[in-house]
Amino acid sequence: MKNVFLRRKNILISAILILCIILSTLAFAQQDINDNENKVKNVILMIPDGMTIAHTTLARWYQGGEPLAMDELACGLVRTYSANNPITDSAPAATAYATGFKTQNRYLSIYPEMVSMPGVGQVEEKDFYKPIITILESAKRLGKSTGLVFTCQFPHATPAAFASHTDNRNDYESIAEQMVYNHVDVVLGGGYKYIDKNQRKDKEDLAGYLKQNGIFVTTNWQDAKNFFGQKIWGLFAQDAMHYDFDRKDAGEPSLAEMTQKAIQILSKNRNGFFLMIEGSQIDWASHANDPVGVVSEVLAFDKAVKVALDFAKSRDDTAIIIVPDHTNGGMTLGIGTTSIDSVLLNHFLKYIRRATRTAAGVEEILGNNKTDENIKKVVSQYYGIDNLTQDEINAIKNAPQGRLNYVLGPIISKRSYIGWTSNEHTGEEVVLYAYHPKDYIPRGVIENTEVCDYMAEILGIDLGSFNENAYISNIDLEEKGYNVSIDTSNPSNIQLVINKGSKKYIIPQNKNLVLEGSNQYKLKYVSVYIPSAKRFFVSSEIESLIK
């Protein structure tokens, strides 16, 4: 009887173990199903640069209290600090969204060497300045189409973070070259002069390179509207585009129109797409403390949000994330010691609603005709202000070129009871907005790096695998026994030179090319030179190429 009992006991234990395995397998299977349900083909990241709650409040009142298109998507807050400062600039802020890593101010999608903020992991010295693969670059490697839409010049910090790597966000010529050689499929915005051989210091014909690689290049919006191919760089201004209130006479498209065109082109790819859209000049208006510019650009951005949201809601494979990169200006509705009971809604809106140009637009209209009478006439015509003081007239007259908005903005703000604490970025959290067809969205207070983590998750991208051994530096190559040198004889074209036997391999900075005699090879990623550290980073498959 004892043996029978033991056999029954063993059978029962075995059955329990089998049941546990089955339940565990089912649980994992269910998790896989849930993960697959949350995945999408397309992600649209929208960045209203520098936008705060005060900005959206003012824009909402401007349109009669009607909700913004983005309002229904508000779901949390995002912490914006960089690796070395509680107040970030746009370069590390965009880097966090592009790579999932915090870096230091001025850096674009490279690891920092200076980390001083709590909770930010230290980087090993060998990885200082090393390029970090971006979500756009990863999406492209997976066969997705990629796009960047903005109203600034394309090498500016936010678009640049997704398709370039540098320790100097102001090195526009190098950044532009990297972005061109990164083969972004759709680029719509400003900055043609950075691909024009006649305007570049190094005389590189980047526009010609794009055309040779099957990309339609245009500066004309009508031509772009009529384009129905799959790759286009439409750069509709030599540098930055106009503010939305000022653009009509310039023949430039709106952010919403460019968004519509980008989606139309990118959605042709059955593998899906990644698209970043920036409301670039919300930030610039905030730097100038110009409330008219703020309203102009927030509403223009919100119209682009509606375009993207209409597209996403018409299908079940697209997610949208809307998130400012930082706050700017410390804008408030209410100023000084003014009694809250004495300021009515019309006091905030009176002059802003009358405005038909931003301060930057008014500067173009004034031109060189800055007589007292013409200043009073133009300011009255475009803002309805008829009581300029002599000090204000003198300030307008003496404003440096390109900086009149820093004078007119505060003049309008004072009369509109709108306060500002700064002409610079500030360090508060920003509002997170998100749409997902299955309502799988981040909530609560999150880090800016988690925005990238979320996008990678729903796209099914393992960013870690892309970053692992993606780049190798000249120092790494030397330690492995290669004969390596950096040729700086032409400052506009720094090159990494690798000698092996009778062969010499030349790797130009900012390109994805290797030259060996009359042979030319392409690398996965663009090569990056960091002058301050004398470090040259090259795509790691260079080793297999030169063996």
Nearest to 351 by CA among 417, 406, 430, 407: 417
Q: List residues forming the annotated binding site for Zn(2+).
A: 49, 283, 287, 325-326, 425
6: left (phi over 0), alpha (psi -120 to 50) or beta: alpha
Per the annotation, the verdict on 489 as an active-site residue is no
Nearest to 120 by CA among 102, 96, 143: 102
- Are residues 425 and 50 in contact, defined by beta-carbon separation less than 8 angstroms? yes
Q: What number of CA atoms fall less than 13 Å from residue 150's CA on the CB side?
A: 27
Which residues lie closer than 8 Å to 227 by C-beta, 6 or more apart?
A: 216, 218, 234, 265
d(C-alpha 355, C-alpha 351), whole Å? 6
Dihedral Cα 516, 522, 526, 527, nearest 10 deg: -20
The order of strands in the sheet holding 503-508 is 483-487, 495-500, 503-508, 513-516, 519-522
Q: List residues forming the annotated binding site for Mg(2+).
A: 49, 156, 158, 278
d(C-alpha 99, C-alpha 452), whole Å? 6
Exactly one of 24, 82, 90, 138 is catalytic; name it. 90
The amino acid at residue 12 is L
- DSSP percent split of the chain into helix, strand, coil, nearest 5: 40, 20, 40
d(C-alpha 419, C-alpha 55), whole Å? 12
What are the DSSP E strand ranges found in 174-317? 186-190, 216-218, 232-235, 273-279
Distances (CA, A) of 110 to 85, 147, 409, 527: 16, 21, 36, 12
Q: List residues forming the annotated binding site.
A: 49, 156, 158, 278, 283, 287, 325-326, 425
Q: 3-state secondary structure string, 345-389?
A: HHHHHHHHHHCCCCHHHHHHHHCCCCCHHHHHHHHHHHHCCCCCC
Other beta carbons less than 10 A from residue 533's beta carbon = 13
The helix (run of H) or strand (run of E) holding residue 138 is helix 135-141
Tokens of 540: 């790691």
Q: Which residues are catalytic?
A: 90
